[in-house]
Structure 1
């Protein structure tokens, strides 16, 4: 297993927690399915999603998440080659019905942040009960660590993202597709992981030569609130202002989704979002991808363990633990409800 990117028992427990929330989510999504925009009258959630089996090992129930090695196992590719994957995905889209679409969504978790380091130091129980409500601390050796709000990547987290960059370069040499659309959580740890993962492949600073990119085109990541980590209570999950995010990442081409507020209007000290509520957010993200980016087949999203768990719940994918800087690629079939397409 990779020395830098490896699953812990804590990751596994986190991925399999809150099972009762899945049934609650199914009730919530059933209620939300036919809600309409009050201004346009259009259905807000016209797409239904399902996982297409056979493309990646992570969707196979026989794959052991504790021993699975993301880097050595070609990101979980279950087909004979990336060329075979691209051909099969092209074939599915070529033969699809007019109201269907197939996409590969590459869900990446950020590298280790200082909040993750704090959990490893204090343990999950002390973290949840006390430290998650603090901004940081001074360790016995005199080192000061800060994790809230909006923590940075640790040096290990940076190395993990760089390891992802090297891994993707190797896979691209073997024919892996380069995403044509990039989305990120608004948190610094996710944005920086995206930068380091795809730098020199499809991301560069505005003053750098775009012709040197493997994609031969500079891509502009979109920051979206629906990819943020579980909202509320934990100070590490309160974002920076829009101005600060822009100062940090606009030079890498990051843009904001329409309506992105200057300050974090969602965070509350006295409330923590449930998995069922977060899964509704994840579904809203998927709705946006399938409704507004029909020509993009290969999608990259960089977010968090809780958000990936919510995407997995929204898709009905098997539970699968994602380590810091881990990645889970999922081939998704979206079906647009035909009677709703003429709202």
Structure 2
């Protein structure tokens, strides 16, 4: 009797073991492959949950000590990045200085130090995702700047900024003025000089706001028409300026941008028409910060390039600096700020991603005391000029001073 029970027990164990082995083989063969991480998404949902270790999230922080702009003692009002030596790169001896000849430039040492720091990603216990250098460019003078100077701030903010133009200058998706183009070409000459004399780090990735003045800034600053970069520059929706009633912050259609800037690519899901601009509400600062965080997470989780040139706008630059904990630093029209950013994993029990936490927020009241075309029935109606611009895209002289 005992022998019979023992045989039944062994058969049961054998059956269970065989079933477990079969289940394991089937689960291995039929397991779902993780979805591919697209390198062309910067404004969509960051793949944080797919890549993060268990209960961890991505932390982005400024690494100070490399550029003068990050030091508290640097006077931002008197600082000019293009007059400073090496764009503000601090002259110093890094931890590996003795490995190099005395003839190495400060940029040579900086690039090798950054490469050494990026080796930290190979040590799992450090949780480092990587280090990147961001060159944040603000476009030079555009036609909306001349309009504000001509009409005055109150009249501009409450009336003219909401118009497509004034009959002599176009404000909608404002282009660079001839003076702005000259400044961008001057900046190009400075970059060429830094590349040749001190070996400044050449950007590996070029990203642009979809506003035309930002794309023009990248094109002229790096002479992309004559010397195309290794990979095409990319239009990124979330790099655009704070959107609202200002027509100069509304973007053109994908068709228009593709025809005017044939060297540029578009991030995935870039819509044909502007999905964000409104004629009666302004975006809040919290919403701009939210966009900046999503952009930075995607940049670190989807791209491997260490040196990135970004043409964006005043409020977005402020938001990026705030998102990484960099000191506030004003970037004048036509200037640039370089920052070193570290991405790393940290323990977090937050179940929502940055994309899920906040939605776009708007504010309505500008406290205008003069004619307001949004609420005043006597104001002139706004006109859709997108088709007009497409028809006159190839006209050589499209700009006239306000």
Alignment partner, residue 289 of structure 2: 279
* In structure 2, C-alpha distance between the alignment counterparts of 1:279 and 1:124, rounded to whole Å: 25
Q: TM-score by structure 2 length?
A: 0.66
Alpha-carbon displacement from aligned partner over 1:232-267 (angstroms, at most 9, x marks no partner) = 1111111000000001111xx210000000000111
Distance 2:113 2:70 in 1: 17
Provide the residue aligned with 1:266 in structure 2. 276
Q: What is the CA–CA distance in structure 2 between the aligned matches of 1:38 and 1:303, rounded to whole Å?
A: 20
Distance 2:91 2:296 in 1: 25
Q: CA deviation at 1:125?
A: 2.9
Q: 2:313 aligns with which of 304, 309, 324?
A: 304
Distance 2:117 2:326 in 1: 20
Q: Is the 8 A contact 1:182 1:222 kept in 2?
A: yes
Contact 1:103 1:332 in 2 (8 A): yes
Correspondence list, 1:89-128, <5 A: 89-96=114-121, 97-98=123-124, 99-100=127-128, 101-128=130-157
Task: Name the counterpart of 1:223.
Answer: 235
- Verify: 1:324 aligned to 2:333, yes or no: yes
Alignment of 1:146 with 2:170, yes or no, is yes
| Contact kept? 1:79, 1:85, Cα under 8 Å | no
- Structure 1 91/264 Cα, relative in aligned 2: closer, same or farther at 3 Å? same
For residue 229 of structure 1, report the CA deviation from its aligned partner.
0.4
Q: Distance in 2 between matches of 1:321 and 1:126?
A: 25
Partners of 1:39 and 1:319 in 2: how far apart? 29
| Greater radius of gyration (CA) | 2
Give the match's secondary structure for 2:169: strand
Which stretch shows the higher mean deviation, 283-292 or 65-74?
65-74
Give the counterpart of 2:71 among 57, 60, 65: 60
Shift of 1:124: 2.7
Q: With CA pairs under 8 Å and 6+ residues apart, which has the higher RCO, 1 or 2?
A: 1
Q: 1:155 to 1:336 in 2, by over 3 A?
A: same
After superposition, the C-alpha distances for 1:49-83 in whole angstroms (9 at most, x for unaligned) are 11101111111111111211211203211235111
Question: What TM-score do the two structures reach when normalised by structure 1?
Answer: 0.77
Long gaps (5+) in structure 2: 1-43, 93-105, 354-402
Contact 2:131–2:341 (8 Å) recurs in 1? yes
Structure 1 residues 37 and 162 mapped into 2: Cα distance closer, same or farther (>3 Å)?
A: closer
- Cα–Cα, structure 1 residues 111 and 39, in superposed 2: closer, same or farther, change >3 Å? closer
1:37 and 1:43 in contact (8 A); partners too: no
**Aligned with residue 288 of structure 1, among 285, 298, 301:** 298
Partner of 2:375: none
Q: CA deviation at 1:297?
A: 0.5
Q: Which moved more, 1:124-133 or 1:229-238?
A: 124-133
CA contact (8 A) 1:110 1:190 kept: yes
> In 2, Cα distance between the equivalents of 1:37 and 1:53?
29
Number of matched residues? Answer: 286
Shift of 1:119: 2.0
CA 1:77 to 1:39, structure 2 compared with 1: closer, same or farther past 3 Å? closer
What are structure 1's unaligned runs of at least 5 residues?
1-35, 139-143, 206-212
Q: Distance in 2 between matches of 1:42 and 1:84?
A: 35
After TM superposition, the structure 1 = structure 2 runs for residues 206-217 of structure 1, keeping only pairs within 5 Å, are 213=227
* Corresponding residue number in structure 2 for 1:159: 182
The residue aligned with 2:204 is 180
- The 5 Å alignment of 1:4-83 reads 42=50, 46-73=57-84, 74-80=86-92, 81-83=106-108
Q: Aligned equivalents of 1:102 and 1:164: distance in 2? A: 26
